[in-house]
Amino acid sequence: MCGRFTLTENIQVLQQQFLFEYTDDIFPRYNIAPSQYVLAVGSNGERRKGSMLKWGLVPFWAEDPKVGYKMINARSEGIDTKPSFKHSFRNKRCLILTDGFYEWKKTTEGKQPYRFVMKNQKPFAFAGLYDIWKKNGQLITSCTIITTIPNEVTEDVHDRMPVILKEEDYDTWMNPHFSDSNRLKSLLVPYSADEMEKYPVSSLVNSPKNDLIELVSPLNSI
């Protein structure tokens, strides 16, 4: 799964890399947790636009928005047929921007958190889905992160990892007019382990109340 991640880069760098429109500023986030708002990028097939979406998908047909707490992740297997995700998979696909994510490894001394990043230290994009929920005058635009089987970097920590998209696949993934299900599902695979690395971090990350720069430092350097 993917239950915590970071986005510490400034908006100008992100816009330059991902080529999207966005008018507001963002603050560095070192411990983004479910139900919080995350920076996502969508497309109308021609232009990319950034938006802040609530993490935890609330399908348009849901009776209670609290269902979003259970849908922070969507398994890639069968995503085109599952009632909670199939509608968004058709034409509400997005990038969720990040520069690292956390997972916890079980050890004899308890769970040790690790941060996973790119070796080149650049931001990257999770494959996401979004939806718009409206009821009784309330509107929630929310998202979920798609997960897949682990690669060689993540497998000894967790049995799932978020789908990280290749840059050349961004437009295909976000295009709401593209509907080739088999092609889209072919993108939902483990990212190249050769481009990733991990390191242990402080257990301070265990609490979503902690959103400190120290959280992204290697444990032995704190």
| Residues annotated catalytic, as ranges | 2, 103
42-48's contacts with Cβ under 8 Å and 24+ in sequence apart are 42/92, 42/93, 42/94, 42/95, 42/130, 42/174, 43/171, 43/174, 43/175, 43/176, 44/176, 45/175, 45/176, 45/177, 47/21, 48/18, 48/19, 48/20, 48/21, 48/174
- In angstroms, the CA 59 to CA 120 distance is 36
SS (H, E, C) 34-88: CCCEEEEEEECCCCEEEEEEEECCCCCCCCCHHHHHHCCEEECCCCCCCCCCHHH
